[in-house]
């Protein structure tokens, strides 16, 4: 492969930092949550860059942004698609999602500047609500794009703040006319930070992601009896908070028992009435269970359900569960994985086979076309946190591997 074409590392890195400066709150925290004003500011910046690069920008009904380079010949052929997301968690880092979207735009720009003649269109997408902080399920935009969730149902989904996603997309000007899935990918490639410690541990810049663990999200609501904290004997209590605490400890032990395969997280918790001298009458929280093995994930869900029955009986509380999201493990396309390995090897980069612990838009796009992912290292494995960091050379290396893989796939 010709060594004479590279992405523009300076432009890539400066754009990652520019986008990272958009959507800061009063305390300077990055809070670019889906369909907020901050999200709109980030979207506007990406759209401006894509238009200035000469790409056709399409917005679909769920708010996905798809920027397309028709290229020369075969404008009607299925495109090579790249993409990721620009929405963030609360108090996020600047790399999660954004680096993949900006790298995709950078790859197209580099190909255009090099007068590359693709055999098919090349597109980069920024998918709506990948993080799922405000609206469930996460990876919603790509799920809808791939036909896994009805667009009307998704638009109707209610946020943690009581808002309706459809209304908020309309409010920020990103309820577009295009039908989700209007372009079917000939192949889909996504660059993303690892968000885990493995690449740093093995000392490798490039992770070639072969598969992705399954995800089970549910909301658990415990109803006990609110009562006076001073006059209600311990044995007479029906304390929803203590019942919730027992479930947290159980989940920690359950996931730890599997020896590092399963992970379990309770990220949100709410007590009612939430008063210092009142026994909680209600506790509601979310459970995030993940495992790369379908059977083990099902078994963990079943164990949890059994423990919930025990707690309900022992603590005299009523427990209800609501499924928020459920995705089986995904295996990526071996062909695309080989293309990524070749691209990395072609640049003399060491690469490492990986299983993704996080959910990604690529797992949804894999439903409608061959897909795979490139990971770059996350320092200390930290993400969803301001301390999230990926070294500049690793970002440039990952984007160049993406470039070469797209050249290979689009050159055919």
The nearer residue to a copy of itself, 124 or 240, going by C-beta atoms, is 240
Stretch that binds a copy of itself, among 52-60, 65-73, 231-239, 338-346 (CB under 8 A): 231-239
Minimum gap (Å) between residue 271 Cβ and a copy of itself: 5
CB of 251 to a copy of itself, least distance (A): 8
Residue with tokens 């400890």: 249
Which one of the spans 60-68, 146-154, 226-234, 402-410 is the region binding a copy of itself (CB under 8 A)? 226-234
Select the residue interacting with a copy of itself from 384, 403, 406, 407 (CB under 8 A). Answer: 384
Q: What's the min distance (Å) between Cβ of 89 and a copy of itself?
A: 5
Beta strand 351-356 pairing with 206-212? parallel
Classify residue 53 as left (phi > 0), alpha (psi -120 to 50) or beta.
alpha
Instruction: Compute the distance between CA of residue 143 and CA of residue 364 in angstroms, rounded to an integer.
Output: 5
How many residues form the binding site for a copy of itself (CB under 8 A)? 72
214: Cβ–Cβ under 8 A, 6 or more apart, which residues? Answer: 290, 291, 292, 293, 294, 297, 327, 328, 329, 330
* Site residues (CB under 8 A) for a copy of itself, limited to 233-262: 233-236, 239, 241-242, 244-246, 248-249, 252, 255-256, 260, 262
Question: Are 315 and 239 contacting, i.e. CB atoms less than 8 angstroms apart?
Answer: yes
Residue with tokens 């946020």: 159
- Could you say which of 194, 210, 223, 394 contacts a copy of itself (CB under 8 A)? 194
DSSP assignment of 214-245: EEEEEEEEEE---EETTTS-GGG---HHHHHH
Question: In terms of CB distance, is 116 or 285 closer to a copy of itself?
Answer: 285
- The residue among 377, 368, 363, 372 whose CA lies nearest residue 341 is 372
Q: Which lies closer to a copy of itself via its Cβ, residue 90 or residue 112?
A: 90
Name which position in 144, 330, 358, 410 contacts a copy of itself (CB under 8 A).
358
Alpha-carbon dihedral sign for residues 372, 52, 179, 63: positive
Instruction: Quote the least distance from Cβ 325 to a copy of itself, whole Å.
Output: 9
Minimum CB distance to a copy of itself smaller for 106 or for 138: 138
- Beta strands at 269-272 and 371-376: parallel, antiparallel or unpaired: unpaired
By the 10 Å C-beta count (0-12 exposed, 13-18 middle, 19+ buried), 271 is classed as buried
| Nearest by Cα to 251 from 183, 181, 303 | 303
Interface with a copy of itself in residues 122-181 (CB under 8 A)? 131-133, 136, 138
Contacts of 365 (CB under 8 A, 6+ apart): 81, 83, 142, 145, 146, 185, 188, 190, 371
Beta carbon of residue 374, minimum distance to a copy of itself (angstroms, whole number): 15
Binding test (CB under 8 A) with a copy of itself, winner from 52, 162, 230, 348: 230
- What's the min distance (Å) between Cβ of 310 and a copy of itself? 14
Give one DSSP letter per residue of 393-409, joined into a string.
HHHHHHHHHHHHHHHHH
Give the residue with the Cβ less far from a copy of itself, 71 or 137: 137
Per-residue contact string for residues 57-96; x = within reach of a copy of itself by CB under 8 A:
--------------------------------xxx-----
Question: Least CB distance from residue 17 to a copy of itself, whole Å?
Answer: 21
Q: Is 384 annotated as a binding residue?
A: yes
Residues 273-332 that bind a copy of itself (CB under 8 A): 273-281, 283, 286, 288, 290, 324
Residue (227 or 345) nearer to a copy of itself, CB: 227
Closest separation between CB of residue 193 and a copy of itself, Å? 10
Q: In terms of Cα–Cα distance, which of 158, 153, 275 is closest to 226? A: 275
Structure tokens at 125: 């997408």
| Short-list 91, 101, 82, CA closest to 42 | 101
Q: How far, in Å, CA of 66 to CA of 58, rounded? A: 5
Rank residues 60 and 190 by Cβ distance to a copy of itself and give the closer one.
Answer: 190
Residue number, 272 or 341, with CB nearest to a copy of itself: 272
For the bound state, the minimum distance from the C-beta of residue 274 to a copy of itself, rounded and expressed in Å, comes to: 5
Using the rule CB under 8 A, is 211 a contact of a copy of itself? no
Binding residues for Zn(2+): 85, 96, 131, 192, 384
Annotated binding site: 85, 96, 131, 192, 384
């Amino acid at each position: 492969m010709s060594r004479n074409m590279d992405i523009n590392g300076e432009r890539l890195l400066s754009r990652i930092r520019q986008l990272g400066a958009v959507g800061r709150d009063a305390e300077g925290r990055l809070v670019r949550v889906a369909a907020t004003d901050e999200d709109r500011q980030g979207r506007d910046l990406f759209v401006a860059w894509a238009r200035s690069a000469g790409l056709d920008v399409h917005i679909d009904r769920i708010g996905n942004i798809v920027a397309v380079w028709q290229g020369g010949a075969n404008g009607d052929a299925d495109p090579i698609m790249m993409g990721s997301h620009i929405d963030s968690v609360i108090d996020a880092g600047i790399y999660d999602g954004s680096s993949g979207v900006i790298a995709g735009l950078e790859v197209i720009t580099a190909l255009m500047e090099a007068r590359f003649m693709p055999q098919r269109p090349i597109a980069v997408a920024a998918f709506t609500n990948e993080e799922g902080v405000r609206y469930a399920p996460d990876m919603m935009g790509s799920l809808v794009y791939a036909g896994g969730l009805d667009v009307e149902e998704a638009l109707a989904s209610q946020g943690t703040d009581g808002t309706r996603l459809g209304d908020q997309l309309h409010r920020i000007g990103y309820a577009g006319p295009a039908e989700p899935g209007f372009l079917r990918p000939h192949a889909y490639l996504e660059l993303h930070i690892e968000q885990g410690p493995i690449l740093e541990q093995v000392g490798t810049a490039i992770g070639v992601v072969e598969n992705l663990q399954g995800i089970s999200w549910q909301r658990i609501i415990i109803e006990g009896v609110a009562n006076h904290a001073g006059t209600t004997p311990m044995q007479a209590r029906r304390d929803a908070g203590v019942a919730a605490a027992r479930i947290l400890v159980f989940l920690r032990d359950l996931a730890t028992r599997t020896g590092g395969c399963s992970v379990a997280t309770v990220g949100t918790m709410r007590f009612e009435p939430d008063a210092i001298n009142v026994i909680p009458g209600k506790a509601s929280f979310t459970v995030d269970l993940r495992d790369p093995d379908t059977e083990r994930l099902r078994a963990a869900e079943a164990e949890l359900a059994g423990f919930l029955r025990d707690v309900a009986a022992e603590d005299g509380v009523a427990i209800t569960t609501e499924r928020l999201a459920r995705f089986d493990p995904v295996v990526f396309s071996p062909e695309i994985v080989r293309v990524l390995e070749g691209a990395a090897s072609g640049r003399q980069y060491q690469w490492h086979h990986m299983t993704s612990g996080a959910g990604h838009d690529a797992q949804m796009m894999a439903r409608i076309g061959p897909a795979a992912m490139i990971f770059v290292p996350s320092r200390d494995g930290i993400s969803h946190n301001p301390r999230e960091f990926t070294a500049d050379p690793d970002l440039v290396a990952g984007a160049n591997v993406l470039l070469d893989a797209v050249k290979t796939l689009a050159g055919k």
